[in-house]
Amino acid sequence: MNKKLIDLKNISKSFDGQMVLDDLNLYIRENEFLTLLGPSGCGKTTTLRILGGFETPDTGHVIFDGTDITKLPPNKRQLNTVFQKYALFTHMTIAENIAFGLKIKNKSKAYIDDKIKYALKLVNLDGFENRMPDSLSGGQQQRIAIARAIVNEPKVLLLDEPLGALDLKLRQDMQYELIRLKNELGITFIYVTHDQEEALTMSDTIVVMNQGYIQQIGSPEKIYNEPENAFVADFIGESNIISSTMIEDKLVEILGVKFPCVDTGFGCNQPVDVVIRPEDVLLSSPASGKMKGVVTHLIFKGVHYEMEVTANGFEWLVHSTGMFPVGTEVGIDVDPFNIQIMNKPASEDEEAVGVNE
Amino acid sequence: MIRNTAKKIYIALIFIFLYAPIATLIVLSFNASRTRAKWGGFTLKWYGELFQNEEIMQALFNTLFIALVASVVATIIGTIACISIMNLKRRSRTIVMGITNIPMLNADIVTGISLMLLFISMGLRFGMGTILLSHITFCIPYVILSVMPRMKQLNPHTYEAALDLGAGPVYGFFKVVFPDILPGVLSGFLMAFTMSLDDFIITHFTKGAGVDTLSTKIYTEVKKGIKPEMYALSTIIFVTVLVLLFLVNKAPSEKNKK
Amino acid sequence: MNKKKLLGTPYFIWSAIFIVVPLCMVFYYGLTDKSGAFTLENIISITTAEHSKALWLALVLSLISTLICLLLAYPLAMILCNMNVNQHSFILLIFILPMWMNFLLRTLAWQTLLEKTGVINSMLGFLHLPTLNIINTPYAIVLGMVYNFLPFMVLPIYNSLAKIDGNVINAAKDLGANGLQVFTKITLPLTIPGIISGITMVFIPALTTFVISKLLGGSKVLLIGNVVEEEFTQASNWHLGSGLSIVLMLFIIVNMVISAIFDKDGEGSVL
């Protein structure tokens, strides 16, 4: 494991009396691609702006490479930002935009010219030196914004929803591009997005946030397969979240039916939330399932069929390659290791509300 | 901290500079002495005499009448013109907008004398009519320049959608387009009204003998000395506008807070 | 034929009759004598001692006023912009409000303030400071110009400042620029359209004014605007007056061309 590069300690921040970040603790390792993921207003952008130096936290410290930089102004920090909507300097050419940071550091002309060439090549826009930002497409402007940041050789690149303004196809291309860039540059990326797919595709580590709290930190696989609470489960991908009771270790009662599972340590007869991904719901003939239900909706999605099955008063979302027409009686079953048990939210604040995206 | 104080002092100084003459005029309107050089004690008599002074009342009526008619006509012509300008080809649009800009960028004195020469050669009698024509002319650009940006922001498909749903062009315009450009139309109207009200130079060249607005009346009084009733009148106008603006501004600002 | 285009006809006719034709008439009168024969006399008369002096003085005073307006307005606009008054209309209002008090009266009020025994001198005397005797001098005219036209400098600069995306400033800081560098490399260049528009809006009326010089300069100071005005209202020599107006328009055209170069998108407009 690489060493810790940035350490956020007990960060709190409020605007106009409204708490945006509440006692946030987070560390970021060298050479990590870390994504802050959450709905709007969850505090992810504020966290990034505190890292960039555009906001000062009310309490807490930002430690960068062993030094406290909480109060250091942005122009003195060894990190650079790629802004939402790019924030290019419209009165300068592309070359002047890229050279901006280097000129301020009084680098030689030859060095700057070299760097501009290198950066444009890196973002696949060779020959754009003398164009004006307004004449570029959104995707091209985004690449320039990245080029402008990385020529300064920051140890960390902060990216604030950089792909938000692009269309779907371009967004997917840029995701691969960003992964490639990160590998070539060998620096730390801290990425803010509300798009779970973006986060799953690119990150080494995902930090899921909601209402100023960190909900879960982990690798994309862990976040997807083992969500720690209903908010994470609901925000990352589609899922069936069912209020259930943990009978004992490795046995849970879902909608009145007992299912074996693999989780332990939740106690006996405790209320819990259960997450079952739609692709993990197994449909079969009514006789062989643990629970009987009726198909109420059927849509063909290409890779699979999407069905809604009403069983024991719950609408199950099911993805399956097999097709059952509307009105068919089916049996429902779930493999024990596909049942993910989560604690009920401890306090109101942490409750999984406000999923509005 | 020091920087903030310095900023506040700077703003305060500029505001004193901008509003000192206005304060002076308000104070003079309560001055019992007829000359503005001396303070003769507090009085309200000018406010009473103001309404007996027929010349001033007539000038006030003329000023308001001209401002109202000119700005209404300018708003109608200007708004309609905007629809058409939006549909022009790029080149003709540039030419039309260039001509529209002339009265804004040209010196008032040149606009004034050019209109004066036109009216003379047309053989028009100088009076209320010529003043109105001139005021409408310099008011239209203010309307166009404040409606145009709104027009440009307009999503052309909303109008098409209205037509698609069975609205006639006129109905579609008033139901769909007009509400969107209304803020621009209103601010253009207010701008035109204000400009017409405050104009002296163009009126000076295009008015005939016998017709006076407040501006030209004041100008002729400069040598003899301004009648204190005039201070009283402008104080009334200013305070009225201030109160109106305060009321108008208060309503939306409370809405914005939430 | 497109019906929408036809809607503009009233305005197109109106602007042809009341904007284009009158300007042609100024040129016609300016380039002819009383008998109607072509002449350049009216324009050349700008070189006579009296006229060139009036033009020169007007140029000097209006340039000084424009410069003072710019120096006062820029910091003011910056402060207003950072004040978080997110009500754009409020700012506009503060500067337009004085216009509801008649322009002539407002300017005349400065007489009361500036006179030998006026308000300002009484205050200075009370503080045992030297008194200010600038009424009926070019200084008073400059003051009147700055007073009357300052809002026209503040508003376009304020508008172009307000348009700058906060993240553009942040980006510059992020790339290492300090406060001064952000100003010289980002803020100032991005507000050039506003500055140019402000300069136009102040310089033209200041150059051509005859009212301010008459009210605050006594009859001692004659500007080119006064000369033109007198030719039309007193001397009734419209040909000479038009000729001198053509000279004035040359300055206006130069100014328009410059602003067209710097402000292609009409960004710096006041509205």
Query: For residue range A256-265, what is the model confidence (pLDDT) as tens digits?
Result: 999 999 988 8
What is the reported pLDDT for B120? 92
CATH number at residue A179: 3.40.50.300
Percentage, residues of chain B above pLDDT 90: 45
What are chain B's domains? Answer: 60-226 (1.10.3720.10)
Give CA–CA dist C110/B175, Å, rounded: 50
Average model confidence (pLDDT) for chain A? 90
Residues of chain C contacting A88 with CB distance shorter than 8 Å: 168, 171
Is the separation of the CB atoms in C8 and B84 below 8 Å?
yes
The whole domain housing A258 covers: 239-343
CA distances from B113 to C26, C208, C229 (A): 8, 12, 9
Residue C109 belongs to a domain:
yes
Residue B225 pLDDT grade (very low, low, confident, very high; cuts 50, 70, 90): confident
Q: Looking at the domain assignment, is residue A354 inside a domain?
A: no
Q: Would C100 be classed as within a structural domain?
A: yes
C246-269 pLDDT, tens digit per residue, is 999 999 888 878 877 776 555 444
Does residue A276 share a domain with residue A136?
no
Considering only CB atoms, which residues of chain A are within 8 Å of chain C? 52-54, 73-77, 80-81, 83-85, 87-91, 100-101, 104-105, 148-149, 152
My answer on whether A206 and A248 are in the same domain is: no
Contacts with A149 from chain C: Cβ below 8 Å:
174-175
Q: What's the mean pLDDT in C33-47?
A: 89
Tens-digit pLDDT profile for residues B91-101: 888 888 888 98
Mean per-residue pLDDT of chain C: 87
CA–CA distance, B230 with C168 (Å, rounded to integer): 51
Q: Is residue A311 part of a domain?
A: yes
**Touching partners of B (3+ C-beta pairs < 8 Å):** C
Q: Are A188 and A155 in contact (CB under 8 A)?
A: yes
pLDDT at residue A277, rounded to an integer? 92
Would you call A81 and C168 a contact, using CB atoms and an 8 Å cutoff? no
pLDDT at residue A355, as a whole number: 37
Q: What range does the domain containing C38 cover?
A: 18-262
Residue A352 placed within a domain: no
Q: pLDDT per residue over A189-217, tens digit each?
A: 999 999 998 999 999 999 999 998 999 99
Mean pLDDT is lowest, of A339-343, B249-253, C223-227, for B249-253
Q: Looking at the 3D structure of chain A, how many domains does it have? A: 2
The answer to whether A231 and A215 have CB atoms below 8 angstroms apart is yes
Same-domain check for residues A214 and A305: no
Backbone angles phi, psi at A273, to 5 degrees: -105, 140
Average pLDDT over residues C219-239: 88
Across the interface, whether the CB atoms of A104 and C190 are under 8 A apart is answered: no
Which of C160, C175, C181, C195 should we substitute to test contact with A (largest number of A Cβ atoms within 10 Å)? Answer: C175
Which residue type, as a one-letter code, is found at position C46?
Answer: I
pLDDT at site C98:
85
CATH number, residue A265:
2.40.50.140
The one-letter code for the residue type at B83 is I
- Beta-ladder partners of A246: A252, A270
Average pLDDT of the residues in A276-289: 90
Per-residue pLDDT averaged across A35-55, rounded? Answer: 92
A285 and A330 co-located in one domain:
yes
Q: Which pLDDT does position A203 carry in this prediction?
A: 94
Picking from B74, B80, B84, the residue whose alpha carbon sits closest to that of residue B190 is B74
The nearest alpha carbon in chain B to C200 belongs to B105
Q: What amino acid is encoded at C60 in this protein? A: V
Is C1 part of a structural domain of the chain?
no
pLDDT digits (tens, 9 = 90+) for B163-209: 888 888 888 888 888 888 999 999 999 989 988 988 999 999 999 88
In a domain, C4, yes or no: no
pLDDT at B1: 67
**ipTM surpassing 0.90, yes or no?**
no
Mean pLDDT check: name the lowest of B112-121, B229-238, C78-87.
C78-87
| C238 assigned to some structural domain | yes
Distance between CA A286 and CA A291 in Å, rounded? 8
A351 located within any domain: no
Q: Is C178 on the interface with A (CB under 8 A)?
A: yes
Average pLDDT over residues A132-161: 92
**pLDDT of res. B180:** 87
Same domain, A135 and A32: yes
- Residue range B26-35, pLDDT digits in tens: 998 998 887 7
Q: Same structural domain for residues A24 and A115?
A: yes
- Together in a domain, A189 and A295: no
pLDDT 10s digits, B35-94: 776 778 888 889 999 899 999 999 999 999 999 999 999 999 999 999 888 888 888 888
Check residue C268 and give its pLDDT. Answer: 43
Q: What is the pLDDT of residues C149-203, one digit of tens each?
A: 999 999 899 989 988 988 999 999 999 999 999 999 999 999 998 999 899 889 9
* C146 has pLDDT over 90: yes
What mean pLDDT comes out for the span A26-38? 93
- As a whole number of angstroms, the distance between CA B104 and CA B139 comes to 9
Residue A318 falls inside a structural domain: yes
Whose CA is closest to C136, among C169, C166, C110, C172? C110
Residue C7 belongs to a domain: no
- CA gap A319, A309 in Å, rounded: 11
Average pLDDT over residues A161-183: 86
Is A83 within 8 Å of C171 when comparing Cβ atoms? yes
- Would you say residue C79 lies in a domain? yes
What's the whole-number mean pLDDT along residues A269-283?
A: 91
Domain of C221, CATH number, reads 1.10.3720.10
DSSP string covering chain B: -HHHHHHHHHHHHHHHHHHHHHHHHHHHTTBSSSSTTS---B--HHHHHHTT-HHHHHHHHHHHHHHHHHHHHHHHHHHHHHHHHHTS-HHHHHHHHHHHHHHHHS-HHHHHHHHHHHHHHHTPPPSHHHHHHHHHHHHHHHHHHHHHHHHHHS-HHHHHHHHHTT--HHHHIIIIIHHHHHHHHHHHHHHHHHHHHH--HHHHHH--TT---HHHHHHHHHHH---HHHHHHHHHHHHHHHHHHHHHHHHHHHHHH-
Residues of C in contact with B77 (CB under 8 A): 10-11, 14
Q: Are residues A144 and A191 in the same domain?
A: yes
Distance, CA of A245 to CA of A266 (rounded, Å)? 10
* Domain assignment present for C267: no
Q: Is A79 exposed, middle or buried (0-12, 13-18, 19+ CB in 10 A)?
A: buried
Whole-model pTM: value is 0.83
Is C200 strand, coil or helix?
Answer: helix
**pLDDT band for position A25 (cuts 50, 70, 90):** very high
Q: Are residues A94 and A45 in the same domain?
A: yes
Give pLDDT tens digits for A104-126: 999 999 999 999 999 999 888 99
Task: Note whether A123 and A27 are same-domain residues.
Answer: yes
DSSP letters spanning A284-316: E-TTTSSEEEEEEEEEE-SSSEEEEEEETTEEE
| Number of domains making up chain C | 1
What one-character DSSP code corresponds to residue A8?
Answer: E
Same domain, A150 and A298: no
- Share above pLDDT 90 across residues of chain A, in percent, rounded to a whole number: 67
* pLDDT tens figures, A62-107: 999 999 999 999 999 989 999 988 899 999 999 999 999 999 999 9
Do the Cβ atoms of A100 and C168 come within 8 Å?
no
Judgement on whether residues A201 and A244 belong to the same structural domain of the protein: no
